Structure 1
Amino acid sequence: MIVYKTEEEIELIRVSAKILAQAHGEVAGMIKEGVTTRQLDQRAEEFIRDHGAQPSFKGYNDFPFSLCISPNSVVVHGFPSDYTLKSGDIISVDAGVFYNGYHSDSAYTYPVGEVAPEVLKLLEETKKSLYVGIEQAVAGNRMGDVSFAIQNHVEKQGYGVVRELVGHGIGEKLHERPEVPNYGKRGSGLKLQTGLVIAIEPMVNLGTKNVVQEKDGWTIRTKDNKPSAHFEHTVVVRKDKAEILTSFEYIEKALQ
């Protein structure tokens, strides 16, 4: 069943999303050479809990951390660890916040130090593809319009779009229906209606679209071990223009 949200519910998600955006800003300010991914996870959890909220991911299907931190060829669901960031890395930070009964979810991929130009371009185009997808998330369009827009944008650059992992509805549960694929056909799929809240999250690989799962049962890596980028916003479908509930504002301030 697809749950359309009332304006009151959307407001609660918006509050959750603000805490999430601020937590992302805290993490963004720490990302530099010599920092461990575990330190980033600890800071995010501390910030979220200090604001009376809970990390959505911790304990979700027994996931043991507050953040999914995915360096380089890890696409998503990477475990924070004693891995120390070094120049040339890219690192995806995916986080969720549960507050007053509602979840929010967003992700951002960062360059660390001096990163190869073709990898910086992957980050830039993946981020652009997120907004290209969001532009299609308006009432009357179909899910395939969102999916096609993302796929078309990144495949023109020669990148691979991950098929096995998709965006999702979000609200009282972290993952709700419908699924939001990053590939598809224009005019196909669910007809979008006002009040549908979805997490749109392109996962885009520099090389092949194919991925493998590691032995921990969570970590997803590119099959060819080339870098992967991931950006995500929580969005509400509106009549004329989608409304983005999460924000990269605090990240951008921290990176200045």
Structure 2
Amino acid sequence: MNKLSRNDVCWCGSGKKYKKCHMDQDVFISNIEEKVGYTIPRDIMKTQEQIEGIRKSCKLTHDVLDIVSERIKVGVTTEEINTWVHEYTVEHNAYPAPLGYGGFPKSVCTSINDVICHGIPCETVLKDGDIVNVDVSCILDGYYGDASRMYIIGEGSKASVDLVRVSKECLDLGIEQVKPFNTLGDIGNAIQQHAESLGYSVVYDYGGHGVGLEFHEEPFVAHIGKKGEGTILLPNMTFTIEPMINIGSPDTRVLDDDWTAVTTDGSLSSQWEHTILVTQTGYEILT
């Protein structure tokens, strides 16, 4: 990026003067670059205007999941969940990000029992004892929010209840590692250590991701890792943490629909997800 003066048009294409757009952020990033010793991609950190837009989209994503929480029960089909999500999203002047993304045919992902992620809603009826992940992503005014929750349908077995609890603990422990100048490896390590210490495995084929201006951005957020390794966390980064925890093997396979990822050994899998903002001192859970 060429050196710009305060009154030049900003490099981002907004048409605004540099001083009214990215100048303050660029100065901030330049100071950080001096500290870490390498060039940081400008688009990995969001402006305050962008963060506010992402925050609103994340709030809607949270509200959609609240609607699902109120209605999900034994006898509901995953197609009904898709209808709830789609209708509530469009009623609030937003668009369900999964619909049409890479050819995905529905407005939400519903992943039951041994399905790790990307389950496609259909006429499958939820049964007593099932566990299901509902993954919601909204586009509101061009900004993205992404989150998922686990639901135990009826009376879950001890094994399923424990798995759902531990996977939520993994998410919480990963989030606790988010603060400026920690690394993605710190997040992955906290998740991996907790899950494996209790006899569970962590899916490595899928992970979290940058989000906000696009559905999937850099960086990739692995849920395994070593402390101090990987991308350095910086204020105004937004990304998801979404550990997928299995009772059995961490290995995955994708069904013939080219979307649905399942455990190779048929064991149960559980996932929770939030969109996270790195703040000046720590983190904010946006969803």
TM-score, length-scaled by structure 1: 0.94
- Does residue 180 of structure 1 match 2:221? yes
Task: Name the structure 2 match of 1:103.
Answer: 144
Moved over 4 A (4+): none
Q: 1:17 Cα shift?
A: 0.8
Q: Which of 122, 143, 164 is the matching residue for 2:163?
A: 122
Name the larger-Rg structure: 2
What is the letter of the counterpart of residue 124 of structure 2?
Y
2:267 counterpart of 1:226: yes
Q: State the distance in 2 between where 1:160 and 1:215 align.
A: 25
Residue of structure 2 equivalent to 1:151: 192
- 2:66 is equivalent to residue 30 of structure 1: no
Q: What is the CA distance between 1:225 and its match in structure 2?
A: 0.5
Structure 1 residue 208 displacement after superposition: 0.9
Instruction: Encode CA deviations 1:102-126: one digit per residue, 9 max, x unaligned.
Output: 1010011110011111210110110
C-alpha separation in 2, matches of 1:184 and 1:3: 21
Separation (CA, whole Å) in 2 of partners of 1:107 and 1:232: 5
SS of 2:219 mapped into structure 1: strand
Give the superposition deviation at 1:101. Answer: 1.2
Match of residue 125 from structure 2: 84
Shift of 1:240: 2.2
Alignment of structure 1 residues 58-97 onto 2, 5 Å: 58-97=99-138
Offset at 1:212? 0.9
Alpha-carbon displacement from aligned partner over 1:151-209 (angstroms, at most 9, x marks no partner): 11111111110010010000110000000000011100111100110011000001111
Give a deviation string over 1:32-79, Cα, whole Å, max 9, x none.
111100000011100000000000110110101111000000000000
Matches within 5 A, 1:177-256: 177-246=218-287
Partner Cα separation in structure 2 for residue 25 and residue 65 of structure 1: 19
Q: Distance in 2 between matches of 1:221 and 1:86?
A: 19
Unaligned runs of at least 5 residues, structure 2: 1-40
Which residue matches 2:24? none
Alpha-carbon distance in structure 2 between the residues aligned to 1:59 and 1:172: 17
Structure 1 partner of 2:27: none
Taking the aligned partners of 2:104 and 2:204, their CA distance within structure 1 comes to 22
How far off is 1:239 after superposition?
A: 2.8
- The TM-score normalised by the length of structure 2 is 0.84
- Aligned pair partner of 1:139 in 155, 164, 180: 180
Identity of aligned residues (%): 39
CA distance in 1: counterparts of 2:185 and 2:78, whole angstroms: 35
How is 1:156-175 mapped onto 2 (pairs within 5 angstroms)?
156-175=197-216
